[in-house]
Structure 1
Amino acid sequence: MDTTNSMAEGATASRLKSIAVNNFGEEGPGDMTPSTREKAQRELNETEEGTIIAIAELKQLIANDPKISEIIDRTDDSFYLKYLRARKFDVERSFRLAQNHALYPERIGQPHIYYRSLTPGQVLALEEGVIGVLAKRDNLGRKILVLFPGKWNTETMPLAEMHSLCFLLLNIMIESEETQVNGFMVLCDATGLFYRQLLSVITNRDLVSHIVHLIQETFPGRFKEAIIIKHPWYVSLIKTMVFPLIKKKFRDRIHILGGGHANIAQRLGPDCLPEDFNGSQPKYDPAFFTQAIQEAINNNYPPFKPCPPGQDISTPASLSKLHKRHSSLLSFPTTSIETKLEKSLSLQNIDDEFHDAISFSVSTPLP
């Protein structure tokens, strides 16, 4: 690589780090704190000498793979480092993760995930606070992704667009080295979650499988915990549908809690939470996320080139095997649910019909 290209890539990486850190509310340049560096050594086997060797080996493996080397649009060291940290500096596992990450959109038939633009529905969802990232980290240094699915308008932003927006936001968030080491958690306030949002999920079983793939096998980040609060009783249907797909170590990190925001403040501490969550920070304002994400897109993010239409990209064997397993697990019938929900045009009659539909599905054993 010539010096000019190297300097340009370094500048791009620096801008992306600034977007991921500062525009998400944090102060400072985004470099790791001493305590985080110590954690990286202790938990991830990260050393100065080992990092140099591992990056060189991973670069060579990727350069030798024409399928992904043509897609990846960055070659700065920080790009490779997040894969190594996500797999504790095991170079072979990091390479498989990079393969899965780069080929994920084409594998699931959604190459638009890497298109550098936002749809009108995604912009509206950001502005209305359907999804975002809190400015402060929790007491374990984890970044907090917040979801308000009750605000999600499935007509203006279908599940596929929600999926790609989450994917983009996670990728921007993981540019922070603090997040690469400490990981991230998901905080979901299910207030107002209604049958329309639930119907969008249960009638898109393949996409649900892809989302599980994303977190478990594809994304170079450390998922540490998910907490769901203020949920209606029928969230149990989604749990019944999704949990069989999830590895035990991830299932153990998902907590469906009763009560409301007071429980979260006690669990995570008030200092990282806005007053909406009974915390000490200012009220959550989602407005800046649209600007932050658009700035990242303007700086050529995500770091992959969209695949040309019709380009044949083979699925990594590990993902192909998982997809077959997930498809079989998601094969329980939902026709009765769909019919009953779609017939529920009167709001005052929804509860009884919805209860009947969900009772049918939950009582149907998984294969």
Structure 2
Amino acid sequence: MEAIMSCNLDVTSVWVPGQEVTSGQRIKLMEEEQCLTNNGLFRDPAMESHDFSSSRNNYTCTLTPELIAKAREELQEKPEWRLRDVQALRDMILKEHPHLRTRIDDSFLLRFLRARKFDYDRSLKLLVNYYASRRSWPEVFKNLRPSNVKHVLDSGFLTVLSQPDPDGRFVLCLRPGKWRPNDYPFVDNIRAMYLTLEKLIQSEETQVNGIVILADYNGVGLSQASHLGPFLAKKVVGILQDGFPIRIKAVNVINEPRIFKGVFAIIKPFLKEKMAQRVVPPLGLPPRCLRCSSLLRRIQEIQSPDLFGFVNEFAYPFPQYRIPPGTEMDGHPHGG
């Protein structure tokens, strides 16, 4: 991570979603992407010799005392054993998956331990799934970089509220009704969402608190719903449940259209029971109850956004994105 810190880019004039891109901002964005490429954070043929084996054991905890206590209670994270647990996971990776090209630094591995409550075996499985999904779905992960999803964020399909809820959880807002199938393929929405999750999970606070998803189905019709089949639903749900180190604490649905029952029927078979129980409101709840959601009341307390439009703002400028390195599941030993 030392190389990342050396990218002293001026972020004050870089494009953020909703703004026109000037020539100067475009250059800044290109500089950011080139900087990330040079540091091995984007897949590039020149990076095939990058040393993924360095553990770079310079982790410094940034959690508040309150979050340390929360992590101990909810995630079984004991500060006095933290680095021991990280080393145990690192040893398992090197022993059981010696050809997996992955970062093994403390900060990176902690994401997976926290996501699986410091269960070594489950954390390792999550890490392997994280990289396996990249290889199995190249349409999503090929050339996955900020400039290639600008059009998605401009469309309003996805945003993150600028402030967390009272429980410290960032709110990822999805508005599938904003997507126009004739403008770009649905897979671009997945790319933008994945990139956003990568940014969110860099925060230790998010690793402990998790996130909530607020899905506004206003404007969703057959033109959008017809693109979500079982194959796509299975892959998306698979990544969110078993292939990414983030804790999704709730999925709140508002403006549920009549066709939502059909959409949910496609998704539900792939949801684990625990995740299905976190979808609020449960399928069949009368629409008049949607505005009573505790999450919506909390959001009103924070920012009072238009509940049917949300905040037209993205919480993170693109230059702050840091994409973990691409990988191959075999043929690239750690080396070093």
Task: Tell me the TM-score normalised to structure 1 length.
Answer: 0.67
Residue equivalent to 2:128: 99
Q: Distance in 1 between matches of 2:327 and 2:199?
A: 17
The code of the aligned residue for 1:66 comes to: P
SS in 1 for 2:268: helix
Residue equivalent to 1:221: 246
Q: Distance in 2 between matches of 1:197 and 1:246?
A: 21
Q: Distance in 1 between matches of 2:266 and 2:159?
A: 25
* Structure with the larger RCO, 1 or 2 (CA within 8 Å, 6+ apart): 2
Q: Which runs of 5+ in 1 are unaligned?
A: 1-5, 314-367
Q: CA offsets, 1:245-270, max 9 Å, x none?
A: 21111111001462488434654352
SS in 1 for 2:123: helix
With over 3 angstroms needed to count, the CA separation of the structure-2 counterparts of 1:44 and 1:30, relative to structure 1, is: closer
- 1:201–1:208 CA contact under 8 A, matched in 2: yes
SS in 2 for 1:175: coil
Q: Is 1:180 matched up with 2:175?
A: no
Residue equivalent to 1:115: 143
Of 164, 167, 182 in structure 1, the residue corresponding to residue 191 of structure 2 is 164
- 1:44–1:88 CA contact under 8 A, matched in 2: yes
SS in 2 for 1:196: helix
Q: Which runs of 5+ in 2 are unaligned?
A: 18-59
With over 3 angstroms needed to count, the CA separation of the structure-2 counterparts of 1:123 and 1:306, relative to structure 1, is: farther
1:104 Cα shift? 0.9
- 2:165–2:171 CA contact under 8 A, matched in 1: yes
SS in 2 for 1:226: strand
Residue equivalent to 1:150: 177
The code of the aligned residue for 1:181 comes to: V
1:30 Cα shift? 10
**Cα RMSD for the two superposed structures:** 3.2
Runs of 4+ in 1 over 6 A off after TM superposition: none
Residue equivalent to 1:231: 256
1:31 Cα shift? 3.1
1:306 Cα shift? 5.1
The code of the aligned residue for 2:79 comes to: E
Write 1 or 2 for the structure with the bigger share of helix.
Answer: 1
1:116 Cα shift? 4.0
Residue equivalent to 1:79: 108
Task: Tell me the TM-score normalised to structure 2 length.
Answer: 0.73
The code of the aligned residue for 2:323 comes to: P
Percent identity (aligned): 27
Alignment of structure 1 residues 1-367 onto 2, 5 Å: 7-8=2-3, 11=5, 31-64=62-95, 65-68=97-100, 70=101, 72=102, 74-107=103-136, 109-110=137-138, 112-113=140-141, 115-118=143-146, 122-202=149-229, 205-256=230-281, 258-259=287-288, 262-264=291-293, 267-277=297-307, 284-286=311-313, 289=316, 292-293=317-318, 295-297=319-321, 301-305=322-326, 307=328
- 2:89–2:124 CA contact under 8 A, matched in 1: yes
Q: Distance in 2 between matches of 1:114 and 1:44?
A: 33
- Number of equivalent positions: 278
1:272 Cα shift? 3.0
With over 3 angstroms needed to count, the CA separation of the structure-2 counterparts of 1:93 and 1:221, relative to structure 1, is: same
The code of the aligned residue for 1:146 comes to: C
- 2:159–2:312 CA contact under 8 A, matched in 1: no
The code of the aligned residue for 2:248 comes to: F
Q: CA offsets, 1:281-340, max 9 Å, x none?
A: xx7123665xx23x145xxx32122549xx789xxxxxxxxxxxxxxxxxxxxxxxxxxx
1:101 Cα shift? 0.5
Q: Distance in 1 between matches of 2:278 and 2:165?
A: 16
Q: CA offsets, 1:46-104, max 9 Å, x none?
A: 11221110111112222332342x2x2x3431111110101111112111111111121
The code of the aligned residue for 1:83 comes to: F
Q: Distance in 1 between matches of 2:76 and 2:111?
A: 13
